[in-house]
């Protein structure tokens, strides 16, 4: 949460869509580029803390928003507010407010997915793109269904990676995840990669975990203070996890399809240098699934692929390796 974690470098703006975004803004030094950091779920600008310090110390400018539904940014209740094209327009308006024509985009998890759509809808605004854990995927004009993905990954790696999406779309999921926040934290930052796989990926496992399961220990790389910050960001008073789950619900309801159907086929392709940072042990963003899905959409000489020995949260679990890979890519 930008305002809570970084009060001296955080600002907010009410955008033309009517929503207010909170975001970190650090000007660049010595003609260095600005870097746009886009977080995923369940996260906020706070989870870029290691990258903010590292990149700012090296003179890079930074724009780090709490994305819609998170932190100190507005949290609309209706899932229609979370259309990717609309949110892309909001992020670009923040760049306009900051006077930035082009930036380097970096996304993690859902932030990677949003970054991909920014590249489709606003390609001129990005000089480079970095996708952490979740690779670029092209627009889906034919509609989205989680079931074929689960069937395909079961064939490829032996289990469905998106079983939890069925739970996330249920009306009571946000309340359950908030009321049982220790369960959410334990499965998000699990000490064992298998614990996340067993309680999220398999069909029906997430609901069973929240209704009758027990939280396990958290990973050693997440401190008590950082867990306390997470609890503040997603407290019931601040809306819990429910608003952020609208990213999933919007996608599942195929509300992005009319916009994506308008994207020209040539704009599916990425035409700037890109980094794909694979997370070796992530049971959801499995490298064997991620990399082959991206390579058809970019020329080989434009793509750099690195693999970090981490689970899903490379930016937190392995900040030094993540930062060094980003610095090499930024040049």
Q: DSSP alpha helices (H): ranges in 6-109?
A: 49-57, 84-97
Arithmetic mean of pLDDT, 257-283? 97
Residue 120 makes CB contacts below 8 A (sequence gap 6+) with: 138, 139, 260, 263, 267, 268
* pLDDT over 80 at 252, yes or no: yes
Determine the pLDDT at residue 2: 61
Rounded CA separation 235/71 (Å): 10
Rounded CA separation 196/213 (Å): 13
**What's the pTM?**
0.97
Rounded CA separation 54/71 (Å): 22
DSSP 112: H
Q: How many CA atoms lie within 13 A of 75 on its CB side?
A: 19
Determine the pLDDT at residue 1: 62
Show the tokens assigned to 298. 């970019």
User: Which of the pair, 5 or 84, is modelled with greater confidence?
Assistant: 84
| 8 Å CB contact between 178 and 241 | yes
CA distances from 91 to 85, 87, 140, 315, 327 (A): 10, 6, 21, 21, 23
Arithmetic mean of pLDDT, 240-257? 98
Q: What is the mean pLDDT of the chain?
A: 96
* pLDDT over 80 at 154, yes or no: yes
Q: In what order do the strands lie in the sheet with 61-65?
A: 10-14, 20-26, 61-65, 34-38, 103-108, 126-132, 274-279, 303-308
């Amino acid at each position: 949460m930008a305002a809570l974690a970084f009060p001296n470098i955080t600002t907010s703006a009410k955008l033309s869509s009517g929503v207010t975004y909170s975001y970190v803004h650090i000007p660049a030094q010595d003609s260095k580029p600005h870097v746009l950091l886009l977080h995923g779920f369940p996260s906020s600008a706070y989870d870029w803390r290691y990258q903010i310090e590292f990149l700012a110390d090296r003179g890079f400018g930074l724009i780090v928003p709490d994305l819609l539904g998170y932190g100190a940014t507005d949290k609309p209740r209706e899932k229609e507010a979370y259309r990717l094209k609309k949110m892309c327009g909001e992020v670009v308006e923040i760049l306009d407010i900051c006077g930035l024509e082009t930036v380097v985009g970096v996304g993690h998890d859902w932030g990677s997915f949003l970054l991909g759509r920014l590249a489709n809808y606003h390609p001129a605004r990005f000089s480079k793109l970095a996708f952490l854990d979740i690779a670029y995927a092209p627009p889906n004009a034919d509609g989205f269904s989680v079931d074929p993905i689960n069937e395909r990954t079961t064939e490829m790696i032996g289990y469905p990676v998106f079983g939890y999406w069925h739970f996330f779309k249920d009306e009571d999921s946000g309340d359950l995840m908030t009321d049982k926040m220790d369960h959410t934290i334990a499965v998000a930052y699990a000490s064992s990669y298998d614990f996340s796989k067993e309680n999220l990926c398999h069909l029906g496992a997430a609901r069973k975990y929240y209704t009758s399961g027990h939280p396990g220990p958290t990973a050693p790389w997440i401190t008590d203070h950082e867990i306390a910050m997470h609890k503040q960001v997603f407290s019931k008073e601040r809306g819990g996890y429910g608003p952020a789950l609208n990213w999933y619900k919007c996608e599942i309801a195929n509300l992005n399809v009319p916009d994506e159907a308008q994207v020209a086929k040539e704009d599916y392709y990425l035409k700037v240098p890109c980094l794909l940072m694979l997370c070796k042990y992530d049971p959801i963003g499995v490298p064997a699934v991620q990399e082959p899905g991206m390579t058809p959409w970019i020329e080989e000489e434009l793509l750099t692929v690195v693999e970090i020995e981490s689970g899903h949260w490379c930016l937190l679990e392995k900040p030094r390796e993540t930062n060094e890979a980003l610095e090499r890519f930024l040049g």
